[in-house]
């Protein structure tokens, strides 16, 4: 807990990584949480469905939380909210822009948290949350209703930018509120917590509205069916695909549950305009000629159960890719997803379809500002202190260097880590004592820290397989009374007829003889000895470390 008169900014996620963004802002013992994001698992997190920030700190301080404020509707900023609310045991006030609030309500409904209220907040609106006055500042991003959050307490104002770019020609015609950012700078901004995603890219990002003409140009060259994949939450991109399809007289079909859900929300709130009669259901796709159809699909990141991934594997119920189809990836892989995306692309080619990515034609524009835009944010807001957020360690360092380049003193730039609080009071700023932070996993319906045991076992199973050794011994003398049974799965270069299996049985008998000679009778201890002896034998012969499960039965 922060001492009285000290502002404490504790990142629980989003630093040193891309994803699971969560920031705890605390003053006089009261807390406002900015964003509750998740991250999708990496390939080595076998069987894990979602990765969440470790919010044990919030669970312990649940009664001190005044509000949860959401910057925008992307999963890496709102996806953990249902899990957080369940763990807190109480529901603080929740605020977000209208689209964010609508998407979150739908998510909470899926988790059967229907009694939770999410309040809409508009640009320039402010509200009180304990010792904080909280204001939403309009920003441009790849989703409507994206905001920076300005939190003002007695000590000064902290600005958490959320995801942003300075797009001067956004699709919805509403750019970032540069004037308000400049006012915050003139009034004296205490701390800037700025998005670092594209701190490694020089120059200025492409405008989102530049993507539409490129899509139209590509569509015009396609004679067959077109499948466009993008993030389901990228409402502006969906609008541009619809516009390009309308120009060329093509119908549009939305494939993927989240795509249909988000487009319906977007249409209800007026963010998407689809001409009457243009949308066709997935089951009607086969009723239209290929040259009259555009499919907008989820799966741009190669997600295992997404619509495009299923198409690529030939098991989607409505869309069967074939010669003449063109698949357009209107997104770039999130760091860590490159392998899954490349595998999906390779399978699409195998089915005979063509693939176009942002590397071929600029059919994607990042929602995050490049270096010159990060500098502009720093120059507009003129913060006394800077803490780069939302990026891996490389990007955090590059953002720190940009801040130094525009004149922020090095001692006023804090390159933090998850769990390391920045504490600011009237005498200055410094890092405080580390708090618990890390990750927890969602595996099916279970939530918890299974890193140490289950994930290690899954990695071992995936790499080297498993041996199950069943030994039957005499209750009187502990010696073997029947040949041991050897069961193995996923072990390469071994089969039932292999001489290795016979030798392994002999090694098991020898281990049991040694234990009997030492008069070891406890089953647990017998199994431990058998495990170690079998593991040593298998490694000497196969140079592999499969999982060994010994089972000793007394008769």
Neighbours of 256 (CB within 10 A): 24
Look up residue 203 and give its DSSP letter.
Answer: S
Residue 206 near residue 24, CB atoms below 8 Å? no
Select which of 145, 167, 195, 325 is catalytic: 195
- Kindly report the length of the chain: 555
Task: Please give the distance of CA 137 from its chain centroid, rounded to a whole number.
Answer: 24
Return all residues near 363 (Cβ < 8 A) that are at least 6 apart. Answer: 211, 214, 215, 218, 328, 329, 330, 356, 357
Residue 431 near residue 422, CB atoms below 8 Å? yes
Strands 326-329 and 354-356: parallel
Residue 24 near residue 64, CB atoms below 8 Å? no
Name the phi and psi angles at 211, rounded to 5: -75, -35
Residue 39 near residue 19, CB atoms below 8 Å? yes
Name the phi and psi angles at 251, rounded to 5: -80, 165
Could you give the 3-state DSSP secondary structure of residue 119? strand
Select which of 236, 368, 390, 529 is catalytic: 368
- 315 in active site: no
- 195 in active site: yes
Residue 40 near residue 53, CB atoms below 8 Å? no
Half-sphere exposure of 519 (CA within 13 A, CB side): 0
Closest CA to 190 of 133, 163, 150: 150
Query: What is the rounded distance in angstroms from the CA atom of residue 254 to the CA atom of residue 356?
Result: 19
Query: What is the rounded distance in angstroms from the CA atom of residue 256 to the CA atom of residue 142?
Result: 19
Active site residues: 195, 368
């Amino acid at each position: 807990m922060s001492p009285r008169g000290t502002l404490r900014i504790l990142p629980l996620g989003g630093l040193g990584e891309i994803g699971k963004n969560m920031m705890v802002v605390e003053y006089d013992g009261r807390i406002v949480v900015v964003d509750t994001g998740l991250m999708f698992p990496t390939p080595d997190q076998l069987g894990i469905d979602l990765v969440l920030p470790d919010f044990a700190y919030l669970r312990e301080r649940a009664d001190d939380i005044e509000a949860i404020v959401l910057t925008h509707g992307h999963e890496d900023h709102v996806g953990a909210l249902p899990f957080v609310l369940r763990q807190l045991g109480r529901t603080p006030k929740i605020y977000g822009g209208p689209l964010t609030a609508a998407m979150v309500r739908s998510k909470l409904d899926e988790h059967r948290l229907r009694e939770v209220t999410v309040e809409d907040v508009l640009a320039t609106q402010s509200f009180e949350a304990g010792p904080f006055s909280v204001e939403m500042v309009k920003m441009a991003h790849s989703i409507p209703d994206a905001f920076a959050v300005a939190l003002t307490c007695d000590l000064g104002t902290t600005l958490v930018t959320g995801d942003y770019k300075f797009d001067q020609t956004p699709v919805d015609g509403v750019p970032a509120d540069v004037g308000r950012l400049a006012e915050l700078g003139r009034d004296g901004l205490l701390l800037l917590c700025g998005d670092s995603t594209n701190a490694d890219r020089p120059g200025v990002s492409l405008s989102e509205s530049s993507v539409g003409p490129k899509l139209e140009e590509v569509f015009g060259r396609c004679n067959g069916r077109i499948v466009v994949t993008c993030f389901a939450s990228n409402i502006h991109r969906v609008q541009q695909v619809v516009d390009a399809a309308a120009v060329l007289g093509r119908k549009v079909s939305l494939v993927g549950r989240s795509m249909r859900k988000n487009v319906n929300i977007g249409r209800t709130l007026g963010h998407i305009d689809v001409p009457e009669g243009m949308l066709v259901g997935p089951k009607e796709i086969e009723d239209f000629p290929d040259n009259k159809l555009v499919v907008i699909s989820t799966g741009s990141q190669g997600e295992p159960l997404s619509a495009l991934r299923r198409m690529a594997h030939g098991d989607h119920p409505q869309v069967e890719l074939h010669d003449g189809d063109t698949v357009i990836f209107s997104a770039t892989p999130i760091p860590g997803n490159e392998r899954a995306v490349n595998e999906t692309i390779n399978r699409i080619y195998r089915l005979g379809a063509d693939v176009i990515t942002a590397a071929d034609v600029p059919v994607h524009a990042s929602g995050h500002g490049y270096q010159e835009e990060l500098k502009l944010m720093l120059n507009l807001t003129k913060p006394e202190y800077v803490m780069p957020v939302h990026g891996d360690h490389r990007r955090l360092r590059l953002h720190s260097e940009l801040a130094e380049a525009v004149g922020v003193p090095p001692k006023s730039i804090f390159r933090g880590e998850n769990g390391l609080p920045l504490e600011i009071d009237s005498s200055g700023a410094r890092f405080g004592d580390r708090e618990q932070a890390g990750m927890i996993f969602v595996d099916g319906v279970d939530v918890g820290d299974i890193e140490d045991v289950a994930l290690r076992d899954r990695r071992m199973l995936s790499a080297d397989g498993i041996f199950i050794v069943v030994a039957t011994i005499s209750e009187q003398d502990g010696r073997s009374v029947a040949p041991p049974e050897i069961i193995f799965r996923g072990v390469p270069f071994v089969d039932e007829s292999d001489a290795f299996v016979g030798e392994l049985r002999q090694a098991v008998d020898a281990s049991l003889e040694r234990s009997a000679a030492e008069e070891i009778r406890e089953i647990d201890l017998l199994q431990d000895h058998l495990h170690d002896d079998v593991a040593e034998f298998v490694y000497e012969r196969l140079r592999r470390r499969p999982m060994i499960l010994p089972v000793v039965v007394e008769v």
